Structure formats: C-alpha cells, structure tokens
Amino acid sequence: MSVLELFQKGGPVMYLLVICSIAVTVIGIERWRFYRYVEGECEVFLKNLPGWLKSVPLAECMERCGKQDSVLGYLAENGIQAAIDGEDVSLAVDMAYGQIAMKLRAGLNYLSMIVTLAPLLGLLGTISGMIESFSIFNLQAGQPLAITGGIGEALVATATGLCVAIFALLVHTYLAQRLDEELTLLDRASAVVLNGLGCRRTEHEA
C-alpha cells in the first residue's frame, strides 16, 4: 500500500494533521532564525556595554546601543533614554524586557497546542473509521474480515497524529531551551544596564 493510499485511508482528519505538521515546521524554522538573530554579537556587546556606561556620555552611549540592531541594544537604549530624561530606569528596563520576552515566546504556545491536538485528531479519525467499519459489518454479516480490515485502516489516523505530536514535542523542547538561553542574555543585559547607570548616578551625586 502506497503512502497516498494510506493517507486516503486515514480519512479527512489527515488533512488537518498535515496542516499541523506544516505549522510545526514553519514555526520551528522561524523561531530558530529569530533566536540566531537575537544572539548576534551579544557576547561582544555585553563585554563592551559596562565600559560605555562608565566612561562614554549617555547620548553617545545610547547611539552606540541603537546601532547594534539587536534586542539587547534595544533594552539598553531604553534604559539609557530613561536616565537621560530623568525617569525611572528600572521601570524602563522592565518594560523593554517584557516586550522582548513576549517576542521571544511567540509561537511556542501554538506548538504546545499541536502536541495535545494532534493525537486527539488522530483518535477522532480512528473512531470515525471504526464507526464506518461497524456499519459495513452490519451490512455484511458473516464477514469479520471486513471490520478488522477497516479498523486497521482507521488506525492510520492515530499513528499519524502521534507522529505529528512527537515531532511538535521535539521542536518545542529545543526551542524552549533556546528561549531559556535568550532570556538569560536579557537578564545579564538588564543587570549590566541597571548597575552601570546606578553607579554612574551615584558618582554624579557624589
């Protein structure tokens, strides 16, 4: 039996499962590329940032952060802008952190949904196939092979749903690990900005 024949035997839910698998692939690739963009030159930036905050004028420091074209630069830029305007630096950094974290988490909840939804769709396809098989069995009394063959075909949907769910779980696990790494970078950048601007303010007041 060919793959196409198996697909057709699985019933209409197979089309939904294909859509789910495509969605997992698209989300996985998009998130992977975004996380690579976020990392960029983060280590070099975090190494240079304390020196900038200590010795470079704030306006120039903010300009340098803006040229980084990275989420860490955006976070530092917001904190420095708040310091220049005399606003609450901690609040500005927290707000920027929240915006960036929301972007980093985008899409992962859909993967979690697919992990749960795919097996249920497969089960639905199997149940629908079994109902049809029992209907055929009632019409063809004395032919038990008719129902066993129908059930075997109906289980294709369950197997496909489990495969999609496993694929989605693997992608979600990998991306969740990458998310933790990116949030750690954000935490480090937030600490550098708050400490650097705090020390600068203390020196200025002294």
Task: Tell whether 77 is covered by a domain.
Answer: yes
Task: Tell whether 18 is covered by a domain.
Answer: yes
Lowest mean pLDDT: which of 6-10, 71-75, 90-94? 6-10
Top mean pLDDT of 131-140, 151-160, 186-195 is at 186-195
Look at the chain and report how many structural domains it folds into: 1
Task: Tell whether 8 is covered by a domain.
Answer: yes
Task: Tell whether 112 is covered by a domain.
Answer: yes
Task: Tell whether 12 is covered by a domain.
Answer: yes
Q: Are 186 and 43 within 8 A, CB to CB?
A: no
- What mean pLDDT do residues 75-93 have? 91
Q: In this predicted structure, what is the pLDDT of residue 206?
A: 46
Buried b (16+ CB within 10 A) or exposed e, 162-178: eebbebbbebbeebeeb
pTM: 0.82
Q: What proportion of the chain, given as a percentage, has pLDDT over 90?
A: 47
- Going by C-alpha positions, the residue among 48, 19, 59, 14 that lies closest to residue 168 is 19
Residue 178: domain span: 3-201
Give residue 43's identity as a one-letter amino acid code. E
Task: Tell whether 51 is covered by a domain.
Answer: yes
Task: Tell whether 128 is covered by a domain.
Answer: yes
Buried b (16+ CB within 10 A) or exposed e, 125-136: bbebbbeebeee
205 falls in which pLDDT band (50, 70, 90)? very low
Task: Tell whether 206 is covered by a domain.
Answer: no
Q: In this predicted structure, what is the pLDDT of residue 39?
A: 80
CA–centroid distance for 28 within its chain? 7
Q: Report d(CA 65, CA 74) in Å as an integer.
A: 7
